[in-house]
Structure 1
Amino acid sequence: MSGSYGIAAVILVALAAMLIGSQGLRVSRTTSDFYVASRTVQSRLNGAAISGEYVSAASFLGIAGLVLVHGAGMLWYSVGYTAGFLVLLLFVAAPLRRSGAYTLPDFAEARLEARLVRRISSVFVVGIGWLYLVPQLQAAGLTLQTATGAPWWVGGVLVALVVGANVAAGGMRSITFVQAFHYWLKLTALLVPVVFLALAWHADGAPSATAGRPVFARATVLRAGAALRLRLPDPVQVTADGSVDGQRYQRAVLALTPGVHSLDPGTSLAFPAKARVPESLDAPSATTAQWGSALVGGPGSHPLYATYGVILATFLGAMGLPHVVVRFYTSPNGRAARRTTLVVLGLLGAFYLLPPLYGALARVYAPDLALTGNSDAAVLLLPERLIGGTGGMLLGALLVGGAFAAFLATSSGLAVSLAGVLSQDVLPSVGVRSFRWATLPAIGAPLALTLGGMRLPVADTVGLAFAVAASSFCPLLVLGIWWRRLTPPGAVAGVLVGGGLALVAVVSTMVGAVSGGWPHALLAWPAVWTVPAGFLVMVLVSLATPRRIPAGTAATMARLHLPEAAGR
Structure 2
Amino acid sequence: MATLALALMVAVLLAVAARPRRASTLDFYLAGQRVGVATNASAICGDYFSAASFLGVAAAVYAAGLDGIWYATGFAAGFVPVVLFVAAPLRRFGEFSLPDFLGRRLGSERVRLAAVLVVQLVIVSYLVPQAVASGITWELLVGAGIGGLSPYVTGVLVSTAAITALVGLGGMRGATWTQAVQFAFLLLVLLWLTGVTVADGFSYPDAVAEVSETPLANPVPVEDGSGEEAGATAGGAVEGRQGWELRAVPDRIDGGAARFDQPGARYGPASQLALVITLILGTAGLPHVMNRFFTSPTGRAARLTTVWVLGAAGLFYALAVLLGVAARAAIADAADGTPWLAELTVDGVLRVPEHALLALGRLAAGGAGLGVLAAAALVAVMSTIAGLLLAGAASWGHDVYERHLNPRATQRQAMRAGRGAVVVVAAIGAAVAVTLRPAELSGLFPSLVATMVTWAFTLAGSALTPVLLLAIWWRRTTAAGAVAGMVTGSVVAIGAFLAGVVGVAGEGDVAGVLLAPAVLGAPAAMLVTVVVSKVTPTPVDLDRTWVRMHGTAADRQAERLAELTIRGLADPDEPRTPRNGRR
Does the 8 Å CA contact 1:497/1:537 hold for their aligned counterparts?
yes
> The residue matched to 1:352 in structure 2 has which SS?
helix
Within 5 Å, which residues of 2 pair with 1:541-560?
Answer: 541-545=532-536, 548-560=537-549
Read off the aligned partner of 1:15 and give its amino acid letter: A
Tell me the equivalent position of 1:489.
Answer: 480
Task: State the Cα distance separating 1:139 from its structure 2 match.
Answer: 0.3
Gaps spanning 5+ residues in structure 1: where?
Answer: 217-221, 229-241, 248-254, 270-277
**Which of 353, 360, 372 is the aligned partner of 1:382?**
360
**Which of 290, 296, 314 is the aligned partner of 1:331?**
296
> The residue matched to 2:296 in structure 1 has which SS?
coil
Tell me the equivalent position of 1:436.
Answer: 419
Tell me the equivalent position of 1:297.
Answer: 264
Query: Over residues 226-283 of structure 1, what are the superposed CA-to-partner deviations in whole Å (9 max), with x where a residue is unaligned?
Result: 538xxxxxxxxxxxxx735369xxxxxxx9xx9756668x4479xxxxxxxx435899
**Which of 119, 122, 125 is the aligned partner of 1:125?**
119
Task: State the Cα distance separating 1:366 from its structure 2 match.
Answer: 3.4
Matched, 1:342 2:307: yes
Matched, 1:352 2:294: no
> The residue matched to 1:41 in structure 2 has which SS?
coil
Tell me the equivalent position of 2:382.
Answer: 408
Tell me the equivalent position of 2:100.
Answer: 106
Tell me the equivalent position of 2:15.
Answer: 19
Read off the aligned partner of 2:8 and give its amino acid letter: L
Query: Over residues 100-130 of structure 1, what are the superposed CA-to-partner deviations in whole Å (9 max), with x where a residue is unaligned?
Result: 2101110111111111111110000000011
Tell me the equivalent position of 2:247.
Answer: 279
Tell me the equivalent position of 1:506.
Answer: 497
Give the Cα–Cα distance (whole angstroms) in 1 for the partners of residues 204 and 511 of structure 2.
41
Within 5 Å, which residues of 2 pair with 1:469-480?
Answer: 469-480=460-471
Against the structure 1 CA distance between its residues 14 and 320, is the aligned structure 2 distance closer, same or farther, given a 3 Å change threshold?
A: same
Matched, 1:211 2:189: no
Tell me the equivalent position of 1:231.
Answer: none
Task: State the Cα distance separating 1:225 from its structure 2 match.
Answer: 5.3
Task: State the Cα distance separating 1:297 from its structure 2 match.
Answer: 3.2
Give the Cα–Cα distance (whole angstroms) in 1 for the partners of residues 204 and 277 of structure 2.
39
Matched, 1:424 2:425: no
Within 5 Å, which residues of 2 pair with 1:36-185?
Answer: 36-150=30-144, 151-185=151-185
Against the structure 1 CA distance between its residues 121 and 527, is the aligned structure 2 distance closer, same or farther, given a 3 Å change threshold?
A: same
Does the 8 Å CA contact 2:91/2:299 hold for their aligned counterparts?
yes
Gaps spanning 5+ residues in structure 2: where?
Answer: 145-150, 333-344, 442-447, 561-583
Tell me the equivalent position of 2:327.
Answer: 362
Matched, 1:448 2:431: yes
Give the Cα–Cα distance (whole angstroms) in 1 for the partners of residues 276 and 216 of structure 2.
32
Does the 8 Å CA contact 2:89/2:549 hold for their aligned counterparts?
yes
Indicate the percent of aligned positions where both proteins have the same amino acid. Answer: 33
Does the 8 Å CA contact 2:216/2:260 hold for their aligned counterparts?
no
Give the Cα–Cα distance (whole angstroms) in 2 for the partners of residues 154 and 28 of structure 1.
34
Read off the aligned partner of 2:123 and give its amino acid letter: G
Query: Over residues 38-77 of structure 1, what are the superposed CA-to-partner deviations in whole Å (9 max), with x where a residue is unaligned?
Result: 1011111001000111000100011111111211122122
Against the structure 1 CA distance between its residues 36 and 513, is the aligned structure 2 distance closer, same or farther, given a 3 Å change threshold?
A: farther
Does the 8 Å CA contact 1:85/1:345 hold for their aligned counterparts?
yes
**Which of 522, 527, 538 is the aligned partner of 2:529?**
538
TM-score where L is the length of structure 1: 0.84
Task: State the Cα distance separating 1:506 from its structure 2 match.
Answer: 3.5
Give the Cα–Cα distance (whole angstroms) in 2 for the partners of residues 203 and 87 of structure 1.
34
Give the Cα–Cα distance (whole angstroms) in 1 for the partners of residues 393 and 424 of structure 2.
8
Give the Cα–Cα distance (whole angstroms) in 2 for the partners of residues 345 and 259 of structure 1.
42
Query: Over residues 10-57 of structure 1, what are the superposed CA-to-partner deviations in whole Å (9 max), with x where a residue is unaligned?
Result: 21332222122123xx12411100010110111110010001110001
TM-score where L is the length of structure 2: 0.82
Give the Cα–Cα distance (whole angstroms) in 2 for the partners of residues 553 and 514 of structure 1.
45
**Count of aligned positions:** 518
Task: State the Cα distance separating 1:299 from its structure 2 match.
Answer: 1.3
> The residue matched to 2:226 in structure 1 has which SS?
strand
**Which of 515, 520, 525 is the aligned partner of 1:524?**
515
Against the structure 1 CA distance between its residues 512 and 458, is the aligned structure 2 distance closer, same or farther, given a 3 Å change threshold?
A: farther
**Which of 12, 25, 34 is the aligned partner of 2:28?**
34
Give the Cα–Cα distance (whole angstroms) in 1 for the partners of residues 205 and 280 of structure 2.
38
> The residue matched to 1:101 in structure 2 has which SS?
coil
Does the 8 Å CA contact 1:48/1:344 hold for their aligned counterparts?
yes
Within 5 Å, which residues of 2 pair with 1:448-467?
Answer: 448-453=431-436, 455=438, 457-467=448-458
Task: State the Cα distance separating 1:166 from its structure 2 match.
Answer: 1.3
More off after superposition, 398-407 vs 344-353 = 344-353
Give the Cα–Cα distance (whole angstroms) in 2 for the partners of residues 540 and 415 of structure 1.
35
Q: What is the Cα-based RMSD across aligned positions, in Å?
A: 3.2
Task: State the Cα distance separating 1:365 from its structure 2 match.
Answer: 3.0
> The residue matched to 2:18 in structure 1 has which SS?
helix
Against the structure 1 CA distance between its residues 205 and 73, is the aligned structure 2 distance closer, same or farther, given a 3 Å change threshold?
A: closer
Task: State the Cα distance separating 1:93 from its structure 2 match.
Answer: 0.6
Against the structure 1 CA distance between its residues 512 and 29, is the aligned structure 2 distance closer, same or farther, given a 3 Å change threshold?
A: farther
Does the 8 Å CA contact 1:189/1:401 hold for their aligned counterparts?
no
Does the 8 Å CA contact 1:298/1:307 hold for their aligned counterparts?
no
Give the Cα–Cα distance (whole angstroms) in 2 for the partners of residues 91 and 494 of structure 1.
19
Against the structure 1 CA distance between its residues 174 and 383, is the aligned structure 2 distance closer, same or farther, given a 3 Å change threshold?
A: closer
Give the Cα–Cα distance (whole angstroms) in 2 for the partners of residues 528 and 364 of structure 1.
35
Of Structure 1 and Structure 2, which has the larger fraction of its residues in strand?
1
Give the Cα–Cα distance (whole angstroms) in 2 for the partners of residues 45 and 203 of structure 1.
34
